[in-house]
Amino acid sequence: MRRRSSGFTLLELAVVLLILGLVYAMAGPMLGNGSVGLDVKAASRQLAAGLRRARSVAVTEHTEAVLTLDVDGRTFSVSRDPKVYALPKKLVYALVTAESEVTQDKIGGIRFFPDGSSTGGRITVSAGDLRQEVDVDWVTGRAHIL
């Protein structure tokens, strides 16, 4: 009568560890690129939400409201909101807006009016080849992620 072993051999454990190491080595770079793409989308959504908030303030309070973007500082603020919102530092931002809304070098805004219209503009969020644009229609003041 032969006795059966109730464990794994050292060779079997080494093979399993080798396979796990290979899977981890291949998954790491894939997940790293994915997180940059997620950061681009998240930053675009955060900016679009800020633009919608500024438009809402302008319409509900019957006053002008501005989303001010600091491109180099990677922050933005909205009129009547004391909070300064931070954006991911590893991304690149660009603002296209009316010349009258540029306050300093690399700092500008998109202004919304009580009727819902705006000065219009576009904020580009990018990282390498990944790119999303948040467009503001000057007639309607609506923000759309392109």
Question: For the domain that residue 109 is a member of, what is the CATH number?
Answer: 3.55.40.10
**Strand order through the sheet with 84-86:** 84-86, 75-78, 65-70, 107-112, 102-104
Do the domain assignments include residue 3? no
Domain that holds residue 118: 10-145
Tell whether 61 is covered by a domain: yes
How many domains would you assign to the chain? 1
Residue 106 lies in a domain: yes
pLDDT in tens, 112-126: 999 989 998 999 999
Q: Is the dihedral of CA 134, 138, 139, 142 positive or negative?
A: positive
CB atoms within 10 A of CB 58: 24
Mean pLDDT of 59-74: 92
In a domain, 5, yes or no: no
Q: What is the per-residue pLDDT across 23-48, written as a single tens digit (0 to 9) for each?
A: 888 776 665 555 787 888 999 999 99
